[in-house]
């Protein structure tokens, strides 16, 4: 590689990766190296699938029964909690779709670069084949030229060697053969020189296209790295925004919980389930024999009279007649049958 070629190749970092002898293999290898990172960049699609699966599970969870036995302020807070959970799941579904859109943009970008690299590959492959064909043709013309030069030298030596021993007719033949060898050598020389000129022209065109292709690849690589960097940056911004959105939705639940009043819920439950304003009256002792006494007017205080039970007297009747104890003792509060 001459000084001019080195100067051209220094204009591109990728051009320093190749040698003239292995240009096609190296360019194909470069296509693979440039295309591989984009092929492996399926992380965004996988993350979108995870987000979608999580969103569907969360949406199903928000539809389940939660706090059905609660009431008043706590029930309203739980209803808000379910509603905001549903909104969070919908935001994750939207995030999954956004990630798929970003992945589609990246796929379109990869296809555009692939098509551009394919055109360069085809052009470089055609130039390389043309260069290889012309090189082979030049080498064959060189071999023919060298052989014609040897034939010319051999004819001249033969003519000089037989100049004194041969007759005029033989000398004329040797001279004609020598002239023909000179003409053949000159024709071979012109053909060889022409092929070398054409080969040099093809080589210069190939070299220019080679440097141009390397510069184009470098530009594509800069664009690819910048695109991937921006894609990851955008992806992280989307995740951060999702966190902010979720926090805003959860903040609504927290605000609802702040209005949850325990005392109010207790009073609401009591007012809803109460059976009266006063407790039931106590159950008093009712003597069976008190129904035979003359009812006494209730006192002003409407208090129930205290009931005292006296001990039973010993029986004193020996005749066996039944005697009502209330007749014997009118101060007693209950009747006693005496024998």
pLDDT of residue 297: 52
The dihedral built from the CA positions of residue 313, 314, 318 and 319, taken in this order, carries a sign that is: positive
**What are residue 337's DSSP bridge partners?**
324
**Looking at the domain assignment, is residue 158 inside a domain?**
yes
Q: Pick the residue with more confidence: 43 or 227?
A: 227
pLDDT of residue 33: 55
For the chain, the C-alpha Rg in angstroms (whole number) is 58
Answer yes or no: is pLDDT of 120 > 70. Answer: yes
pLDDT of residue 157: 83
**Looking at the domain assignment, is residue 306 inside a domain?**
no
**Looking at the domain assignment, is residue 194 inside a domain?**
yes
Tell whether 143 and 241 lie within a shared domain.
yes
Q: Residue 68 half-sphere exposure, CB side, CA atoms within 13 Å?
A: 3
Tell whether 158 and 70 lie within a shared domain.
yes
Q: What element of type H or E holds 337? A: strand 337-338
How many other CB atoms are there within 10 angstroms of residue 41's CB atom? 18
Tell whether 225 and 335 lie within a shared domain.
no
pLDDT of residue 38: 52
CATH number of the domain that residue 173 is part of: 1.20.1270.60
Of 108-112, 258-262, 328-332, minimum mean pLDDT range:
328-332
In terms of residue numbers, what domain contains 325? 285-291+316-339
Tell whether 72 and 194 lie within a shared domain.
yes
Q: Which two three-digit tokens encode residue 177?
A: 């053969």
- 27: closest CA among 157, 217, 197? 217
Tell whether 166 and 68 lie within a shared domain.
yes
Total structural domains within the chain = 2
**Looking at the domain assignment, is residue 322 inside a domain?**
yes
pLDDT of residue 306: 47
Tell whether 228 and 170 lie within a shared domain.
yes
Tell whether 15 and 144 lie within a shared domain.
yes
pLDDT of residue 316: 46
Tell whether 16 and 100 lie within a shared domain.
yes
Tell whether 102 and 229 lie within a shared domain.
yes
**Looking at the domain assignment, is residue 329 inside a domain?**
yes
**Looking at the domain assignment, is residue 297 inside a domain?**
no
Q: What global pTM score does this model have?
A: 0.58
Among the three residues 237, 270, 303, which one is the final residue of a domain in this structure?
270
Q: Rounded to whole angstroms, what are the CA distances from 44 to 101, 109, 182, 235, 285?
A: 10, 15, 74, 8, 84
Tell whether 52 and 199 lie within a shared domain.
yes
The predicted-structure confidence for 121-175, as pLDDT tens digits, reads as follows 888 899 899 999 999 999 999 999 999 899 888 888 887 777 667 677 777 887 8
Residues 6 or more apart whose CB falls under 8 angstroms from that of 135 comprise 199
The predicted-structure confidence for 2-44, as pLDDT tens digits, reads as follows 444 334 444 445 444 444 334 444 555 555 555 555 555 577 7
Question: How far apart are the C-alpha atoms of 338 and 325, rounded to whole Å?
Answer: 6
Tell whether 216 and 136 lie within a shared domain.
yes
**Looking at the domain assignment, is residue 3 inside a domain?**
no
Tell whether 86 and 166 lie within a shared domain.
yes
Unique residue bearing structure tokens 């009279």: 305
Residue 296 and residue 320 in contact, taking contact as beta carbons nearer than 8 Å: no
Q: What element of type H or E holds 324? A: strand 323-324
The rounded percent of the chain whose pLDDT value lies above 70 is 72
Q: Residue 200 half-sphere exposure, CB side, CA atoms within 13 Å?
A: 7
């Amino acid at each position: 590689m001459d000084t001019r070629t080195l100067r051209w190749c220094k204009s591109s970092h990728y051009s320093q990766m190749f040698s003239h002898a292995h240009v096609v293999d190296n360019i194909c290898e470069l296509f693979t190296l440039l295309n591989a990172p984009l092929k492996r960049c399926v992380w965004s699609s996988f993350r979108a699938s995870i987000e979608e699966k999580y969103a569907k599970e969360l949406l199903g969870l928000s539809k389940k029964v939660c706090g059905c036995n609660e009431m008043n302020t706590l029930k309203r807070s739980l209803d808000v909690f379910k509603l905001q959970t549903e909104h969070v799941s919908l935001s994750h579904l939207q995030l999954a779709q956004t990630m798929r859109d970003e992945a589609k943009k990246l796929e379109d970008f990869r296809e555009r670069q692939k098509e551009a690299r394919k055109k360069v590959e085809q052009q470089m492959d055609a130039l390389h084949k043309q260069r290889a064909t012309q090189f082979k043709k030049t080498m064959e013309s060189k071999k023919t030229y060298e052989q014609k030069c040897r034939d010319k030298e051999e004819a001249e030596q033969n003519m000089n060697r037989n100049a004194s021993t041969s007759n005029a007719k033989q000398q004329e033949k040797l001279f004609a053969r020598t002239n023909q060898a000179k003409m053949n050598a000159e024709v071979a020389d012109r053909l060889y020189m022409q092929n070398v000129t054409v080969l040099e022209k093809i080589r210069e065109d190939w070299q220019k296209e080679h440097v141009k292709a390397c510069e184009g690849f470098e530009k594509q690589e800069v664009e690819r790295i910048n695109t991937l960097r921006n894609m990851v940056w955008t992806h992280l911004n989307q995740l951060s925004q999702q966190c902010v959105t979720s926090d805003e939705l959860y903040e609504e639940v927290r605000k609802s919980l702040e209005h949850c009043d325990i005392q109010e819920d207790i009073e609401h439950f009591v007012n809803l389930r109460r059976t009266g304003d006063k407790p039931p009256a106590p159950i008093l002792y009712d003597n069976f024999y008190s129904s035979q006494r003359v009812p006494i007017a209730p006192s002003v205080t409407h208090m129930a009279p205290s009931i005292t039970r006296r001990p039973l007297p010993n029986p004193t009747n020996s005749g066996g007649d039944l005697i009502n104890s209330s007749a014997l003792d009118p101060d007693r509060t209950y009747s006693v049958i005496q024998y």
